[in-house]
Amino acid sequence: MANYEKDEAICLRAIDFSETSQVVTLLTRQNGIVALLAKGSRKMAKAGTFSFGAPIDQLARGEVVFILPRGTAELGTLTAWNLLDHLAAVRKSLPAFLAGQILCEVIIALLSPHEPHPELYDELIAGFSALAEAQSKRMFLSMAKSVLAATGYQPHLENCLICKTPVRPGVRAQFCPGSGGACCIGCPAQSKTLQVDGGVLLALARLPAPSVLLSSAASKPADAAALRAAAAVLMAAIEAATDRPLRTRWALDALFGKRRTV
Ligand SMILES: [Zn+2]
């Protein structure tokens, strides 16, 4: 008999499949990333309703029931989807929408399928719900950093990886994506590096998790160039971890401006 899993989930990707169905990639709270066939999700039933209420949208949150894939099958089957909300904050402004697009790709790229991360799930829901707020760029960075940390790729930013000298604000440093950490300008970095001010690396190291960021008011408005540099560091860490370029890098440029050395 099939095992039905009941869970809560956020839809990270929805692809139309055949005339009537979708393939959805969900981040579930208890089962991690799952790819499911939502059979009939695009089909209007005779009563004028869809099988799941409506086709499933990216960045919608719902209660789900599904059957995990069996054997070598890649797709499980979605049997119920009860929409909880559409994470309205992500749809309120273009920056929030762009941030949501990048985060969906980052989460799918970094998390292994079926590996549960309930605490990360809660942090991401808190973050997605606040992406339209004043601190949206900081929140985006906090969410991306949380995904890196949960998957074991938390960058080491407070000391040089080679000589252990503390990183200092106002002193130029390098970030080495290949080794996942900071490095002084004078130390022999092994791979392609990003040059940034030490203050950016320290601010990123101290950036709290989304739920903490939500409850703390920013001490001062974030500097646009510093935010852009911090985003470049995190995205380089993500691309090094997944060993491929992000498809949504265009959105990063639109969100933070073109990458420059600062
Ligand atoms: Zn050093």
- Average pLDDT, whole number, for the chain? 91
Q: Average the pLDDT over 144-164 and give the result.
A: 96
| Domain CATH number, residue 121 | 1.20.1440.120
Using the mean position of ligand 1's atoms as its centre, give its distance from the Cα of residue 190 in Å. 12
- For 250, the domain range is 91-256
Q: Give dist(CA 149, CA 117) in Å, integer.
A: 11
Q: HSE, CB side, 13 Å, CA atoms: give it for residue 57.
A: 15
Using the mean position of ligand 1's atoms as its centre, give its distance from the Cα of residue 155 in Å. 16
Q: Residue 14 to residues 89, 202, 203, 261: CA-CA distances in angstroms?
A: 19, 37, 35, 36
| Domain CATH number, residue 45 | 2.40.50.140
Q: Which two tokens stand for residue 49?
A: 């309703």
**Looking at the chain, how many residues does it have?**
262
Boundary residue ending a domain (30, 53, 86): 86
Closest among 31, 109, 92, 29 to 61, alpha carbons compared: 29
Q: Specify whether 242 is located in the same domain as 182.
A: yes
Using the mean position of ligand 1's atoms as its centre, give its distance from the Cα of residue 160 in Å. 5
Question: Quick one: pLDDT at residue 261?
Answer: 45
- Do residues 246 and 106 touch, judged by C-beta distance below 8 A? yes
Using the mean position of ligand 1's atoms as its centre, give its distance from the Cα of residue 196 in Å. 14
To the nearest 10 degrees (0 to 180), the angle between helices 224-242 and 94-110 is 30
Using the mean position of ligand 1's atoms as its centre, give its distance from the Cα of residue 231 in Å. 23
Using the mean position of ligand 1's atoms as its centre, give its distance from the Cα of residue 187 in Å. 5
Q: Specify whether 141 is located in the same domain as 239.
A: yes
Q: Specify whether 249 is located in the same domain as 124.
A: yes
Q: Specify whether 36 is located in the same domain as 152.
A: no
Q: Using one digit for the tens of pLDDT, what is the confidence trace for 207-232?
A: 999 999 998 876 677 789 999 999 99
Q: Using one digit for the tens of pLDDT, what is the confidence trace for 96-150?
A: 999 999 999 999 999 999 999 999 999 999 999 999 888 889 999 999 999 999 9
Boundary residue ending a domain (51, 86, 121): 86
Q: Give dist(CA 44, CA 55) in Å, integer.
A: 10
Question: Quick one: pLDDT at residue 259?
Answer: 54
Q: Specify whether 50 is located in the same domain as 104.
A: no
- The whole-model pTM stands at 0.93
Q: Specify whether 74 is located in the same domain as 96.
A: no
Q: Specify whether 82 is located in the same domain as 99.
A: no
Q: Specify whether 126 is located in the same domain as 180.
A: yes
Q: What total of structural domains would you count in the chain?
A: 2
